Chains A and B, each alone.
Chain A
Amino acid sequence: MRRTPPKSARDYAPIVYPGIMLVVFFVIPFATMIAVSFFKRNQGAFYTPDFVLDNYARFLTAFFGGVLAFSLFLAIMVAVVCLVVGFPFTFFLVRLKRRAQILWLLSLLSVLSLSEVIIGFAWSTLLSRTAGITNLFVALGLMDRPEALLPGFGAVLTGMVYQALPYTILVLYPSLARLDWSLLEAARTMGASPVKAFFNVVVPVSRNTIVATLIMVFVFALGSYLLPQILGRPRQWTLSVLITDQAIYQSNMPFAAAMAVFLVLIALALVGLTTLIGRREAEA
């Protein structure tokens, strides 16, 4: 690979295309959003260019603080649950025969083809009192009478985990498929039971993948705005729900933009912190 710094305009040619794509699809929209977040909202109309901090000021209330805290908490929970379920699953998946692996991966991919709306309504049926899974428990004698499991936090979490799990597994898969199995065998020859070997060899060796997966699912879950509305009470509405509400139903673009910018900043800060902790531990 060439290591000399680029000199002429020609040397920059390879990055022109990605550069244009980034500017058109990322920099311009994001800059527009930041700009709008400082605009002044006109009651009954749209907005006029201005530089006011009202939109951010309005955000600094206990109500929005609570919603923000809940949004972050929910996203973290989704990420953790996805990892706790997905990591062992993928660990066993990569040991299956090739055919079985392909079958599993195909069915996981098919879940990705479902829209958030369909997932939401499917789960709302599945968790309902009249047609839900509790009817099955009653038939099996596990419960006395069917119950509604929604709306509520559990239902929101379940739906979002269901939606994010395929991504989790697809991100974990390549790394675990490349895992050196002799590490696990070495641990076993030294007296570690398979479970112990899993926790003190496989997990630490996969730490970078685990951190990357947590961040990805976290960011993914942070943007979810339909499932909390379908499966949750207003108490479980996330900041993304409020942003949608402000932008689409209240026509308050500047405030929606301000919330979105704030959410992005908080998410970036958290991701940065996680990476930093990860690096610090790697050095230790």
Chain B
Amino acid sequence: MSGLVLSEVRKHFGPVHAVEDVSLSVPNGTFVCMLGPSGCGKTTLLRMIAGLEEPTGGSILLDGRDITAVPTHRRELGMVFQSLALFPHLDVTGNIAYAMTIRGVGTAEKKRRVGELLEMVHMAGYGDRSVAQLSGGQRQRVAIARALAVQPKLFLLDEPLSALDAKLREAMQVELRQLQERLGITTIVVTHDQREAMTMADQVVVMGGGRIRQAASPVEIYRHPADAFVADFIGSTNLIPLAVENGTATAFGKPLPGIAAPARDGQMLSVRPEDIILAPAGEGALTGTVAFVRDLGATIETFIDIGGHRLVAASSPRDRPAVNVGDETGLSFHAGNAVVVTA
């Protein structure tokens, strides 16, 4: 098939198994975010796709061709590094034109293309600047333009926005996604920021402990996390320990109607804070004590202690919960909004 296909890719550094049996297929034109905590193997996986790291086992196919043994410089890819890796001895034009210089593209054509790329990243007129004169966001744009200079088949980005401040990062996320849609280029971004992944990706690949925990669309991952790790990593969630007695699911000794779960140990119920509904004391499926209320303006988070666990309920200011710290409160949720996950 066309696109990028990883099959059973492994990478071992001595006794450390950084990446373990990763299989993934990325159709052409897809925007994929590899998401996971630091040390989950996502960067190593990206580096193997780039050819900067040699897999211990498995194979990597690009448009049906096995590129596992193809050296980096023949893989036709563009990459943005975490450090950006802009060449300090070249100006903006020199940096962007580098790949063309290597390929022996003519001067006139090079000049035209650099102008086009600068236009694309909204940096027209900056060609003569030295890299040291640019701001963080501008460097970012130059790095992106440089990676896209020769229309690569694969566009790889390793934590590309981590050096930017929060506001600029959000703006760049949207911009990057729009750019990718316009160019239709297969893009893989490594990030540890789940908001970033949700903003940009067609497909989110959640990694943990060197393995893929779940690969699906952002909404699917958010609404139907495959396991407790994914549920906890993507957004915030309440993990309620679940017990199954005589075919009925219970939590904190209370039955939970509508929840169907097999009789198994180690199961938990993942309920997003915005799906928890507060009710007057005595009503609702569960009862707890309000421990803390955090008013963030846009949302109000109520922290509720139940049987040694702390749950969070998020409500909008319009239906501000009438509770104070120390109050008993009831809480409930729609069975459809709760997902049974295993730890």
Contact partner of B98 among A180, A182, A187, A194, CB < 8 A? A187
In the complex the two chains form, is B85's CB within 8 Å of A182's CB? Answer: yes
Interface assignment of B146: CB less than 8 Å from any CB of chain A: yes
In the complex, whether B214 has a CB less than 8 A from a CB of chain A is: no
Q: Determine, out of B12-20, B73-81, B170-178, B239-247, the stretch whose residues face the partner at the interface.
A: B73-81
Q: Is A180 in contact with B150, judged by CB distance below 8 angstroms?
A: no
The range of chain B's interface size is: 20 to 34
Is A185 within 8 A of B73, CB to CB?
A: no
A-contact bits for B61-80, CB 8 A (1 contact / 0 none): 00000000001111111110
> Is A233 in the interface zone, CB < 8 Å from B?
no
Q: Are B77 and A189 in contact (CB under 8 A)?
A: yes
* CB-CB under 8 A for A185 and B89, given A190-B99, A191-B73: no
Give residues of chain B (94-118) contacting chain A, Cβ–Cβ below 8 Å: 98-99, 102-103
Q: Which of B81, B89, B149, B150 has the most CB of A within 10 A?
A: B89
Q: Which residues of A contact B149 (CB under 8 A)?
A: 190
Structural contact, B85 and A190, CB atoms closer than 8 A: no
CB-CB < 8 A to B99: which residues of A? 190-191
B304 at the interface (CB under 8 A from A): no
Which among A11-19, A67-75, A201-209, A270-278 touches the partner chain? A201-209
Q: Which of A182, A186, A189, A204 has the most CB of B within 10 A?
A: A189
Cβ-based interface call for B212 (8 A): no
Whether a CB of chain B sits under 8 angstroms from the CB of A58 is: no
A145 proximal to B (CB < 8 A): no
Q: Which residues of B contact A130 (CB under 8 A)?
A: none
| B52 interface residue (CB < 8 Å to A) | yes
- Do A189 and B72 touch across chains, with their CB atoms under 8 A apart? yes
Question: Are A186 and B102 neighbours in the complex by a CB distance under 8 Å?
Answer: no
A82 and B52 CA atoms in complex are apart in Å by: 31
**Do A207 and B89 form a contact, CB below 8 Å, given A185-B81, A190-B99?**
yes
* B132-174 to A contact mask, C-beta < 8 Å, 1/0: 0000000000000011011000001000000000000000000
Nearest residue (CB) in B for A204 is B89
Interface residue? B50 (CB, 8 A): yes
Among A183, A191, A194, contact of B103 (Cβ-Cβ < 8 Å): A191
Question: How many Å lie between the Cα of A184 and that of B75 in the bound state?
Answer: 16
Interface assignment of B326: CB less than 8 Å from any CB of chain A: no
Cβ A185 vs Cβ B87 within 8 A? no
Are B85 and A191 touching (Cβ within 8 A)? no
Say yes or no for A247: interface residue by CB 8 A criterion: no
CB of B88 within 8 Å of the partner chain: yes
Nearest CB of B to A98, in Å? 15
Decide yes or no whether B83 CB sits under 8 A from chain A: yes
A196 neighbours in B (Cβ, 8 Å): 102
User: Smallest CB–CB gap between B30 and chain A, Å?
Assistant: 20
Tell me whether A42 is interfacial, beta carbon within 8 Å: no
Is A205 touching B150 in the complex (CB atoms < 8 A)? no
Is the beta-carbon distance between A205 and B85 smaller than 8 angstroms? no
Q: Chain A interface mostly helix, strand, loop or mixed?
A: helix
CA distance A189 to B77 in the complex (A): 6
Q: Which of B79, B82, B87, B88 contacts A189 (CB 8 A)?
A: B79
Contact status A188-B72, CB under 8 Å: yes
Decide if B102 touches A205 in the complex (CB within 8 Å): no
Complex interface residues of chain B between 266 and 296 (CB less than 8 A to chain A): none
A73–B259 Cα gap in the complex (Å)?
88
Closest A residue, CB atoms, query B149: A190
Whether A191 pairs with B150 at a CB distance below 8 angstroms is yes
- In the complex the two chains form, is B102's CB within 8 Å of A190's CB? yes
Give A99 to B71 CA distance when docked, in angstroms: 29
Across-interface contacts of B88 in A (CB, < 8 A): 205
Measured between beta carbons, the chain A residues less than 8 angstroms from B75 are: 189
Give the shortest distance, in Å, between A14 (CB) and chain B (any CB).
32
B341, chain A: closest CB distance, angstroms: 38
Q: Among residues 41 to 57 in chain B, which have CB atoms less than 8 Å away from a CB atom of chain A?
A: 50-52
Extra contacts besides A182-B85, A189-B147 (15): CB < 8 Å: A180-B85, A183-B87, A185-B85, A186-B79, A186-B87, A188-B71, A188-B72, A189-B73, A189-B77, A189-B78, A190-B99, A190-B146, A190-B147, A191-B103, A201-B87
Which B residues are within 8 Å of any A CB, using their own CB?
A: 50-52, 71-79, 81-83, 85, 87-89, 98-99, 102-103, 146-147, 149-150, 156
* A–B pairs, 12, beta carbons within 8 Å: A182-B81, A183-B87, A185-B50, A185-B52, A185-B79, A189-B77, A189-B156, A190-B98, A191-B99, A191-B102, A191-B103, A193-B73
Interface residues of A (CB under 8 A from B): 180, 182-183, 185-194, 196-197, 201, 204-205, 207
CB-CB nearest 6 A-B residue pairs: A190-B99, A186-B85, A182-B85, A189-B79, A204-B89, A188-B72
